Structure 1
Amino acid sequence: MSTRLRINGKSHQVDLPDDVPLLWVLRDNVGLTGTKYGCGVAACGACTVHIDGVAVRSCQVALGDVDGDITTIEGLGKPGAMAVIQQAWVDHQVAQCGYCQSGQIMQAASLLAENPSPTDADIDEAMQGNLCRCGTYPRIRAAVHTAASKMKEV
């Protein structure tokens, strides 16, 4: 079936069955490989993207169920100008292996869109479904606080 998607502000036409997970559409058909495959059962958060600004696990969203604009990690910032949350990740040296970080950033961006002044508890709750094998959780929390502060300055 032919489906038109709006991804990172651009229109994409894909000819795939409705039951194909959005993750594979993004990676294999559209060529946006920043969204990672981790577990395939929505337990790790590596595949997190936004649909109309809401964080979703793209491994569990069927193409036929997509209703709204999709934003991937590639759509957060612009070449030469990272999004505030991305810059906070760099400033706090969050990434070690880096595999889970696109999903972490997308989840954090969704949190900050909903709650521009999160507490530690808010951050922990929002980020609990995103796993980091390297254990950079204290840096993630610090980066979210920094991004929240910088977003208030703008």
Structure 2
Amino acid sequence: MNLESMYQEIILDHYKNPHGRGLRDPYDGESFQVNPTCGDEVTLRVRLDGDTVSDVSYEGQGCSISQASTSVLTDLVVGHTVDEAMTKMDAFVELMQGRGRVEPDEDVLDDGIAFAGVAKYPARVKCALLGWMAFKDALGRTNGSASSNSVTSNGAETR
């Protein structure tokens, strides 16, 4: 099995068996994001215990890339400090915006490296980033710093 096939299997596995799916209470911040280009959407909740991400849950609909990426996000950030989670997010965003020229760090991104091939397709990058933008926005809402309606850096509308 070649690397690209293995990455496709990881994405399909997270799509078919999503981690973190199903909105849970209690939560400290929530964000709804939609990709106006394709209609993918996600509502994501984050729960903090001090400065540690103790839970991430979500509901959404959309393509396998958007839903699998959000599943991977939950695995990568739960149990880590907010700073560590943001470092992982920065690495994922860099990978997605690298147009296939960024070498992913498996130690940081784990299953997130499966999305390296997605970065070659700009129309799909927004799909892969949807859950991550919801996570960032939900974190911002934990301390009331985010507005109730805004537009994320990837062009997705938020409520």
Instruction: Calculate the TM-score normalised by the size of structure 2.
Output: 0.37
Bigger Cα Rg: 1
Structure number having the greater helix percentage: 2
Instruction: Calculate the TM-score normalised by the size of structure 1.
Output: 0.38
